[in-house]
Amino acid sequence: SSAGGNIGVALCDLVESMAAGVMVVEVSSFQLETTQEFHPRISAILNITPDHLDRHKTMEEYARIKARIFARQTQEDYLVLNYEDARVRAFASQAPATVAFFSCERKLHPGIFIDNGQIVIDWQGEQRVVASLSGLRLRGKHNLENILCAVGVAWMAGVRSSDIQRSLDSFAGVRHRLEEVAQLDGVVYINDSKGTNPDSTVKALEAFEQPIVLIAGGRAKGGSYAEVGQKIVERVKELVLVGEARSTIREAVLARGMKSDHIHEAPDFRAAVYQASNLAKPGDVVLLSPACASWDMFPSYEHRGDLFCQIVAEIIADTPQSI
């Protein structure tokens, strides 16, 4: 088995290198836009939130393209959907596949849900505890949704509950998604460079209880900054802005009551990281979650995240260590 697609390994490369087996693939709306014969055995949709509207123009068009993931499935296939997202829930009435819902807010019969710290699957008239959440190493409600979705996909694929539990216990997350980079003098540095749209940054901000120094900005992709602006006002003590969209984000947070002396603009990315580090106090989180694409300054979000990690390492190396 192999994993690839939009996460970094091209699907065509996987197909050419595998004579047989199972492929787990993340497929973007850009890729789905031109598919003709794509037919997954199991497909899944986590949410539909504003993204890539600079290309797709409307949420209706964006959702229509996302729905192409299940267009060629049959009743013998499975479609795993987030019950708590209204747009995603509505896909069930369009889908030719057998639908399995998941929810981290309610019990579903049938479906995948959380009950007393256990992941439960109610399916084909039976309830079964598949895994415990006690050993989880991931932050945030959105990661609970990710986990329930992944458990649903694995279960429909015939993966044993013991293997699911072992994977949950050992999985520490992936690069550039709420990745803990380092701790220095009581400050935690988090790389969430994959936060390339406002909704992703909202979820990142909700994952922490500590005071946050946020680094945001880059190239906007056509969505509104109203919701993330409000979340920044609620959760962020100091905001460092960089990139093309910095004025747009500044306007969004000022309109929602953030004081201008807590908003800082940096001339470039390196300066932004150093400024955020200087603003942070023990007990704070320095969070890179840009709410923007990286293309005004970097070839990809991976390059942006890698540079953040490199600069943090430089800051640590330059900091005198107490004995």
In Å, what is the CA distance from 274 to each residue of 205, 298, 311? 20, 18, 8
Give the whole-angstrom CA distance, residue 59 versus residue 62. Answer: 5
Mode of pairing for the β-strands spanning 187-191 and 285-288: parallel
For 33-170, which CATH superfamily applies? Mur-like, catalytic domain (3.40.1190.10)
Residue 303 corresponds to which tokens in the numbers above? 């390059």
Q: Give the pLDDT of the chain (323 residues) as one tens digit per residue.
A: 777 776 667 777 777 787 788 888 888 888 888 888 999 999 999 998 877 767 778 988 989 999 999 999 999 999 999 999 999 999 999 999 999 999 999 999 999 999 999 999 999 999 999 888 887 878 888 889 999 999 999 999 999 989 998 998 888 888 899 999 999 999 999 999 999 999 999 999 999 999 999 999 999 988 899 999 999 999 999 999 999 999 999 999 999 999 999 999 999 999 999 999 999 999 999 999 999 999 999 999 999 999 999 999 999 999 887 55
In Å, what is the CA distance from 276 to each residue of 110, 222, 257, 292? 47, 26, 21, 18
To 10 degrees, what angle do helices 198-206 and 226-235 make? 20
Q: Report the DSSP beta bridge partners of residue 219.
A: 293
**What residue type is assigned to position 204 of the chain?**
A
Give the whole-angstrom CA distance, residue 11 versus residue 289. Answer: 27
CA-based nearest residue to 149, from 50, 23, 47: 47
CB 144 within 8 A of CB 115: no
For residue 24, what are the contacts with CB-CB under 8 A and spacing of at least 6?
A: 1, 2, 3, 4
Cis geometry, peptide bond prior to residue 40 (ω within 30 degrees of 0): no
Count of helix runs (H) and strand runs (E) in the chain:
12, 14
User: First CA to last CA across the chain, in angstroms?
Assistant: 48
pLDDT at 56: 74
The CATH 3.90.190.20 domain(s) of the chain lie at 179-317
N residues, the chain: 323
For 179-317, which CATH superfamily applies? Mur ligase, C-terminal domain (3.90.190.20)
CA-based nearest residue to 81, from 60, 123, 112: 112
pLDDT at 99: 98
pLDDT at 88: 96
The CATH 3.40.1190.10 domain(s) of the chain lie at 33-170
Give the whole-angstrom CA distance, residue 5 versus residue 116. Answer: 35
pTM: 0.74
pLDDT at 2: 72
CA-based nearest residue to 192, from 277, 276, 288: 288
Residue 259 corresponds to which tokens in the numbers above? 């004081």
In Å, what is the CA distance from 178 to each residue of 8, 185, 189? 18, 20, 10
The 3-state DSSP class for residue 97 equals: coil
Element (H, E) at 179: strand 179-184
